[in-house]
Amino acid sequence: MDNHPDEATIDAVGRLTEALETTERARGHLYSFHQLTGTADLQLGDAVEQLRKAGHAELADEIDREIVGRNVITGRWTFQVVEEYDDTYWSAFRDTERRVRDLLAGGSRHLHEANMKEERRTHGHPHHTAEPGQSV
């Protein structure tokens, strides 16, 4: 592997990494969905208890039976959706992106951004060093 990939390769690998970053964001939203749904279920359980205490046992029993602890997708709670997403899609995507970077870019990440940083930084300025720990 050439240590200096051509611009087309840098762009292609960068686009793949960008797609992975979007997937990471989607995964974060999936975890938010998981946590928010779990919180809502616990709040619903509290509401059911309050309805019971307020003398609405029949209605509380119906909500408890029909909604509390209900699957969000057939056969699955949100943790199972997250786990299946991770196991089926996210981990395969990450592995593929890493393999392509290793093959085409010597494992380097964000080559496009690194090139852009080099072009845009002010050489000799203490807050524009190329790497952490470098002096002017």
**pLDDT tens digits, residue range 78-130?**
999 999 999 999 999 999 999 999 999 998 888 888 888 989 999 999 999 88
CB-based burial label for 105 (10 Å; 0-12, 13-18, 19+): buried
Q: Where along the chain do its domains lie? A: 7-118
- Cβ atoms of 31 and 23 closer than 8 Å: no
pTM of the predicted model as reported, rounded to 2 decimal places: 0.80
**pLDDT tens digits, residue range 57-85?**
999 999 999 999 999 999 999 999 999 99
Cα→Cα distances 127→62, 109, 111, 122, 132, Å: 63, 22, 20, 8, 10
